[in-house]
Structure 1
Amino acid sequence: MSKTLAYAAQSATQPLAPFSIDRREPGPHDVQIDILYCGVCHSDLHTARNEWKNTIYPCVPGHEIVGKVVAVGNHVTRFKVGDTVGVGCMVDSCRTCPSCREGLEQYCEKGFTGTYNGPRQEDGGNTYGGYSERIVVDEQFVLRVNHTENLAAVAPLLCAGITTYSPLRHWGAGPGKKVGIVGLGGLGHMGVKLAHAMGAHVVLFTTSPGKEADAKRLGADEVVISKDADQMARHAGSIDLIVNTVAAPHNLDPYLNTLKRDGTMCLVGAPAEPHPSPTVFNLIFKRRALAGSLIGGIAETQEMLDFCAQHGIVSDIELIPIDYINTAYERMLKSDVKYRFVIDMATLKQQAKAA
């Protein structure tokens, strides 16, 4: 085991602070990664503050990781020292259930191992995430990063990117399809970029009139103010797929009304409290579907990274030092970021040297 600098929450009510964790030495199939950048996801905040009631402390969040390979096990074949790589929301799964065998590890029937707050195989503890100077991961759960610049802005693709890419691909977003994105935050802005790059006609639903110009800059063809009943009515029965990224409880019926017959609204935001139940008649009279989607498997996540590299897609970010993380959480709660915080992990070592 090697001592590793990190930032951790010790309880639901304590701010994140410097902490030393143990990382295993690389085994035969492991890749050791020096972390360059780590995105800040709303799930990090939910977990650090135990809002989903499943947090094990101490908790080191972070599952949007980009870094450099510094060591590999003697059986590793896919990576070498010096490669730029990523780690997303998973670091293992059972690998034997039907979902895993189909490359859908995110739906592992025994439960995938989260990059943080998951079961750690070597000693039964909990996994520690990317708010740290290094991480050791089995090569099967490491991803190749082909972007050659702006690596900090690549980090959020490992969660925000794949969370929106997966439903867009699954439900066939592309030319001739009208795709709605609800919310223009960390997830929503990636949904707009990706749907646009896939060739779909993109409609952004937002409660904020001030976001119209930015939504169109990101690739939206139309912007609908969802609080305006007339604007919503003009889109009734016109949309093939809606990806709803909002992570707060809200009425789903106005959005369901905009779907065509056989249209689908997919929920990817994860509120701490449930949404109100939709009106059944909004579903049954148009054979509409209300669905959900959870990140993507390793193969699909690699596909997403390659797609983004080919199309020059990265996240819009604000780069922060590690000691700003608690302030970033408070700003994130107010949606005061365009559109994703990313931690420059070099600041962790700098802070340790200054201490």
Structure 2
Amino acid sequence: MKKFEVACMPGDGIGVEVVPEAMRVLEAVAKIHGGLMFSFDTFYWNCDYYVQHGRMMPEDGLDRLSQYDSVFLGAIGDVTKVPDHISVWESILTIRREFEQALNIRPAKIIQGVHSPLVNPKDFDLIVVRENSEGEYSTVGGKMYRGKDEIAVQNNFFSRRAMSEAMHYAFDLAKKRKGHVTSATKSNGIYHSMPFWDEVFQEVSTDYPHIQTDSQHIDALVAFFVTDPSRFDVIVASNLFGDILTDLGAGIMGSVGIAPAANINLNGKYPSMFEPVHGSAPDIAGKGIANPIGQIWTAKLMLDHFGETELGDLVMDAIEKVIQSGRTTKDIGGTLSTKEVTVEILSELNNY
């Protein structure tokens, strides 16, 4: 019996509603496999915890999470209780950095049944590989002076090691897909870091002579995401550029509520973390109408990471069948509740 131990952090808002639904799906695919088992421990370390304890997780929180095979996160954030720069930096970003989760992976694709806002989206199917540990999301910098002379300095930092890891991962991924990698850059406007990024990209590309490449300035790249996303296969980007592109990717799919993400540890020292893109969505929290598909698709990414790609494909197939038949939540044109959508996905899985 193969067993995976998963630390579940439902978090805030709709996270507490969608994480249990995805856990039900994982338990269902484990039964289909027969020789697979999931063990879940749930940690309610969120903004309510901060209000009670003055911190987003206990002092030994990272040590406890490090004992698991993966972290399965719902959503973090409730600005009525904790400012975002505290809740995010003391939870998600701390986990990403302390667990050396060097890459953030986010797919976006056309799914029949989800209305894309694009007039002619074609059948795009792309993945953004985002460097997840440094770049523009640095704490290096500070503020000086007060009043009209006040200034803020924010330093970005880029290492050859981190860039190379992200780029090699992107090229290896492209070998399994359509064989094309696009680099997101801005070397015509950012003087030091982006020419360095371009230089490393060219060096890495020589290791993959059969993979086609191109390099796009980020402003043009986001335009192409809107006008012709089907031209892309794998995109590799810095922390900030990747963050922007992936939210746009969710938008052109037609709903941020279905978009998944994975934070990948490459060295095996710590668990990877899996979280949907949608956030805590406080406007619909507690109403039972949150779309669970983003969390369930995220579970599919976790299955892939565990090497259970066939089971991951079953989950994705069930998701697409449910969406195509209109058995969904209101945000993508259906009438079902959060739990009812999960029931429909489980029903599809039972057919296998």
Quick check: TM above 0.5? no
* Structure with a larger share of its residues in strand: 1
TM-score range, shorter chain: under 0.3
Q: TM-score, normalised by structure 1?
A: 0.25
- Higher RCO (CA-CA < 8 Å; seq separation 6+): 2
* Structure with a larger share of its residues in helix: 2
